[in-house]
Structure 1
């Protein structure tokens, strides 16, 4: 019988199978991109433009009013029809009320004085700059049926799982087809292998199996080479010492620490999207050693009116959707805030039933290290991002800098003090320039490297 080496006869078969596989799959995956749905607003004949009315409502009314709930002012959904049916008041009354509510109250109008008394005798802000057509647009928006809220999205995979229409094929069907084709390929290869072995036996061909020549095992050859063993031992010892030193130097360094807080607070939304200054919430950083944890009353300055999150105008990113950061998630966190401060959304009053929020501290210096925020923020003019990183981009706040002594010393050596217009440093800079010819003044030259400055 003729002997031939077994060089894996399946390479050609596998290549042909892959070609067939690609030809089968390509029609399924060549889907047309779904057309983007254009948002349309139905405007009744003679009515205002609800789309423009939404923009005007958000600019002028949303701070005190919502469509479907009482806030600082009453709910405004279908306000025109409700006033017409319940009070017999038409658009002309609304025009007068919106443009000059104090004047309508002083005129003795019964319904105007009823609303004035119901809302703690706080007159609505007058909007004389709004035209009748602007008010028509706002009323059209309040009369429009609210759009159905989108279902919460659990992840990016679910967000992308959309069909291409009645003529398209869903991703689930494509995935199932791929699994089926792969299974058929495996079965086909097994059958081909079995068939080739039968043909070889029938023709008297003996398939020789590749057999490696006998050689000394690698571990035994390594053990017999004493020089190689010695070099390896030295390398291992030095490497172990290096990594042990690096690990010990990280003890107490919490760079990257990002704990989960009891109420999710997005610096990305507040400091980034809404441009809220850091020192508005952390006001004590200007005058105190500590930056302080903002009181929940500071949060309620805005969230008395902002009771739900409507999202970024550009829409949530895929990363946010993958992490579950949907509008519903953020609105739920606002409800946690209300529960903590004891805020009743219906009556728009505090109930007195408040609960402490156990915030988890992120930045924590050792007790033997002294750091004063006001000295750096108010006197030196150091920006918050210098130490805390790009806070305006952080969804979850984390420790950006290592906060080690070496990191502080490097900053004191390299950072020039801002002396222009800063009376605190002007005299010192003038004296040092006279004596030493100092052009740029650093914290190190002011004694910033003395041990007693930070350890006392």
Structure 2
């Protein structure tokens, strides 16, 4: 009876421990700060704030340019979240270890300040983050919904695949441990019984590790794991082909957008002259630079100017174009028209290019993948007020109670972006 009790109690104790562990992990994973409201009004207000200020860099349930946001009110205190959302750079500069860790993890890309948000705005934002769309738009796009793209902008994120594989390995190891315990207990039990010579030899045989390594089951298990990890790595690499998010090449002249667009508040259209009238935004020529620099930093002749400005003079004197390195480059199969988005759609440059006025060295802020564009078309409302371009479209959709979005005017049609 004692042996029977031990045979049952060991797996039972192990199962009970695993159940308690998994339940405790589940409770921690879904804990939400009680100060965060789950009312529909707060969630709706928070969604508007999120779409206007956060959507470019963040997703609720997966990493993007910034971390996944769901659960942030549990990971950090409410006051910490308010400080980070309003001015993350100040919190990082203060040496806060949590803020510094996030800053370093995401390539030291500082989040723009949102000091205009009130306490109520921040709490509404947290309500949407915790209780809002359980299927994030980009994640829904990639899981197969409405022409989404698996991989970079949706689908099963790479982190989830890693977790799934890790869980499978842990489960396999637990099964092996349990089987080992059962075999050990049964061996001890049978050794105390009156067995014939053949059975006794079988029960008391020594453990042969080499035999296990050569067994078909072991080979199949190891082969399966290797193939799974290789396949996952291959899929991850395939979905990064052509995606240059974060690309920041060195330019022939150290031009600072932070100085020109930020400190001096120069309009993007002054240098990128084609952005409102054509498909391409145009790379500025040296002559455009000289409109200002013929009068700035030129006191006492060329001797007083900086080496970087001297490069502009050299380009003009030698009648040679400045060979800027292109950063944002869509594939030839995709059609994108700047004037349609900027002049007609009324979009700000920061919608796609990020906080360009804060960049000392320009980098590709958004992924610019098909899934990213489709997600934007699904969520972006048409700015039709005072815009004659959309008058007939608004009239056709006047009976609909929903706001007119890009997807409603053909924004998801293949021919819109692919010839």
The interval holding the TM-score normalised by the smaller chain is 0.3 to 0.5
- Greater length-normalized contact order (CA 8 Å, ≥ 6 residues apart): 1
Q: TM-score, normalised by structure 2?
A: 0.46
Q: Over alpha carbons, which structure has the higher Rg?
A: 1
Q: TM-score, normalised by structure 1?
A: 0.43
